[in-house]
Every structure is written in structure tokens, then in C-alpha cells.
Amino acid sequence: MQKIAPCLWFDGQAEEAARFYLSVFSGSRIAATLHYTEASPGRTGDVLAVTFEIEGQEFMALNGGPQYQFTPAISLMVHCSSQAEVDRYWSALLDSGGKTMACGWLTDRYGVSWQIVPDVLLDMLRDPDHDKANRVMAAMMKMIKLDIGELEKAWRGD
């Protein structure tokens, strides 16, 4: 068990969302499901929470009700090693109702915000040559889904 694990608040879709995330990410599993009991506020037997893992990271999906919604103020960043990986996660997380944002951000059909980020972008932004880093930042700011080829062109000054 991890010391710290994110808890995602859903309005009745916790189990559905957890299964969706398992379909997107390999190396994922449901670890446990909690159900409402006679002593809890929900209907006895309904799913209260689902603990699941994505790539070794533990999450809890909680059926907390309609009081709160997700915002981009917190997002889950997915490190990608290739454009194919960026494309795969981008498409899968947008499936069935997600929305694009900017600079590699999107919200999935449940409203959870994700950043789909090629690792090379972070390396280019950390380049000690500030002109290169600035060109990459300017290019990224114009993108919706991040394009490694275009970011590399900006970094090279093409």
C-alpha cells in the first residue's frame, strides 16, 4: 500500500471509471471494491469505492455524490516515450466524450484532467540554452495534442 494515493470523487460512476482507466492503461488492476452497508449513507450493496492501480500507482474512485466536480486545478500526468504512445493515450482518454484543452491537456468523459506529455518535451524545456527552451515553449503553447516532431523542430530552430 502506498503512503499517499489520490482519491477521485465521482457521482455514481466510480466502478465504471475505474474499469475505463484499466482499459486505457496496461499493467492495471482492481485491488478492492467497497460496498455501502446498512450503516452508510448510500444504498446497501451499491459500490461505495473502488481501489485500483495504474502502472503501480494506487487510486481510489469514490462514489461521493454530485456535490463536487473535477477541475483542471489538479491533473494526472502521463509520461510518454514516443509519439505513438502520446497518440494512443490521447485517443483512448478522449474516447466517448472527453474534451481537448491545450498544451497536451484533456479531460476524459468523467471530467478528470490529464496531461499527455512526451518525456523529450521536459528535456527540451530544461535545456540550458534558453533560446531553445523558449522556442519549444512557444511551439507547445500553440498545440492541443503535443507533437514531438514539431517540438523537436522548434528546439533545433528549423
**Domain boundaries in the chain?**
1-68, 70-158
Residue 57 DSSP class:
E
What is the reported pLDDT for 41? 85
Rounded CA gap, 114 and 95, in Å?
13
- Which run of H or of E encompasses 83? helix 83-94
* pLDDT tens-digit profile, the chain (158 residues): 789 999 999 999 999 999 999 999 999 999 999 999 999 888 899 999 999 999 999 999 999 999 999 999 999 999 999 999 999 999 999 998 999 999 999 999 999 999 999 999 999 999 999 999 999 999 999 999 999 999 999 999 99
CATH of 70-158, one of 3.40.190.10, 3.20.20.10, 3.10.180.10, 2.60.120.650: 3.10.180.10
What is the reported pLDDT for 26? 92
- Burial class of residue 39 (count of CB atoms within 10 Å of its CB; 0-12, 13-18, 19+): exposed
What is the reported pLDDT for 42? 85
Rounded CA gap, 45 and 35, in Å?
5
What is the reported pLDDT for 97? 94
Q: Do the beta carbons of residue 68 and residue 60 sit within 8 Å?
A: no
Residue 47 DSSP class:
E
Report pTM.
0.93
What is the reported pLDDT for 108? 98
What is the reported pLDDT for 29? 97
Domain 1-68 has CATH 3.10.180.10: yes
Q: Tell me the CA distances in angstroms from 79 to 44, 76, 129, one per residue in order.
A: 39, 10, 23
Query: Helix, strand, coil proportions of the chain in percent (round to 5)?
Result: 30, 30, 40
Rounded CA gap, 114 and 106, in Å?
5
CA angle 139, 87, 78 (to 5 degrees): 80
- Asked if the domains 1-68 and 70-158 are classified in one and the same CATH topology, the answer is yes
